[in-house]
A = this chain, B = another copy of it.
């Protein structure tokens, strides 16, 4: 047994999250793409079958009340809350991340008030955030300015209404300093909006603790909610009364079944709801969240860092120097739960890796991206992935 393989055996034996793996449907593929689509939790198929066959098929319309469909967005929001450091009553689930970014940004600009005419957006963020921010700026008459997170402090000022930042860079895996940047945004008197797509479920976020104003995130990556499962919106309790959504659908009405012509927003997080919730996908997500019972996000983070450290160690041991370049920061405080390796033929390499049973993804133009989901990825997987990578690169 090679030295890294021996190390992997020991690390797996000590892994306190190792027992979680059996709660997922896995095979002999090394799945390092949970940061794109999480693996299927074993509890989900049976629950979805119940939702379809019994709740929809037998109870039909009665399920809106009897099966708890109507309250699902806030109930599931409260299940996500502890994973991102939020007290209950501040998160609702529903719509896509893009739609929630729109609600959050228009809401943020309105919170900031008339005098502030600039909207700053993380220039390195996943593109949709920038596109939607541009639309929010256009519709609210603000100017959009893309700024790299590192340059943010110098860009903030009296004109800044709101700032949209991504917690983890989807390409490089760089973790941004949420406490520090949020504090800087607040010092400038602006509203801080965070996109948690690549951090929620992989590391502690601390929304309440660090005073984040608004946040959004998807649920199909580290939260394993299923393909395109509904996203969520966090509105800090102190802001809820002033949160003025650009999508005031009937589900956010104070009295939705009053069917009144005039709009009156519901109190609390409910204000972030829009239309009829997408029940089948939403309850698949609810089932998927069961795997978090008894899991500490700190333990997840510790394992995530151990996994990515170990992957870098194995890559160093197996892959000839200079063949790939790691673009993910080495410092723990700056690293999410993925490793991005640059090489000229990344597209082709990833194709061959997948053929050999190691699934990551390619991000144009030259990045091999490997995501490490601590709930189901083990150290032996990591060693094998690095070994197959080295063979593929050879």
Q: Residues on A close to B: CB < 8 A?
A: 25, 27, 29, 31, 33, 36-37, 39-40, 44-45, 48-49, 52-53, 55-58, 60-64, 69, 94-99, 102, 106, 123, 126-128, 130-132, 134-135, 139-140, 146, 171, 218, 220, 226-231, 245-251, 253, 257-261, 263, 274-282, 284, 354, 359, 361, 363-364
Contact = CB atoms under 8 A, between A and B. Distances in A.
A262 to B, nearest CB: 8
B40 A250 contact: no
A106 B247 CA distance: 12
B60 A39 contact: yes
Given A33-B60, A135-B247, 17 more contacts: A37-B64, A40-B57, A45-B52, A45-B57, A49-B49, A94-B96, A95-B275, A96-B274, A96-B276, A98-B250, A126-B259, A127-B263, A218-B276, A226-B279, A228-B279, A259-B363, A280-B281
B275 A98 contact: yes
9 residue pairs, one from A and one from B, having the closest CB atoms: A96-B275, A98-B249, A98-B275, A227-B279, A128-B250, A40-B57, A131-B263, A228-B278, A139-B139
A187 to B, nearest CB: 27
B52 A37 contact: no
A230 B260 CA distance: 24
Contacts of A253: 127, 131
A31 B39 CA distance: 38
Contacts of A31: 60
Contacts of A94: 96
Nearest to A227: B279
A99 B97 contact: no
22 contacts: A44-B52, A48-B48, A48-B52, A62-B359, A97-B275, A106-B139, A126-B250, A127-B259, A127-B260, A128-B249, A130-B261, A132-B247, A135-B245, A135-B248, A139-B140, A218-B276, A220-B276, A228-B277, A228-B278, A229-B278, A278-B278, A280-B284
Of the listed residues A49, A62, A131, the one surrounded by the most CB atoms of chain B closer than 10 A to its CB is A131
Nearest to A33: B61
A122 to B, nearest CB: 11
B61 A139 contact: no
A244 B99 CA distance: 16
A361 B29 CA distance: 50
B102 A247 contact: yes
A263 B29 CA distance: 36
Contacts of A258: 364
A215 B176 CA distance: 42
B40 A99 contact: no
A360 to B, nearest CB: 9
A258 B31 CA distance: 24
Contacts of A48: 48-49, 52, 280
Most chain B beta carbons < 10 A, residue from A40, A97, A226, A281 = A281
A38 B128 CA distance: 34
Contact of A58 (B27, B62, B246, B278): B27
A191 to B, nearest CB: 18
A245 to B, nearest CB: 8
Contacts of A29: 60
Contacts of A363: 259
A305 B127 CA distance: 50
A146 B31 CA distance: 54
Nearest to A362: B257
Contacts of A275: 95-99, 128, 228, 231
Nearest to A285: B280
Given A44-B52, A49-B45, A276-B97, A63 B250 contact: no
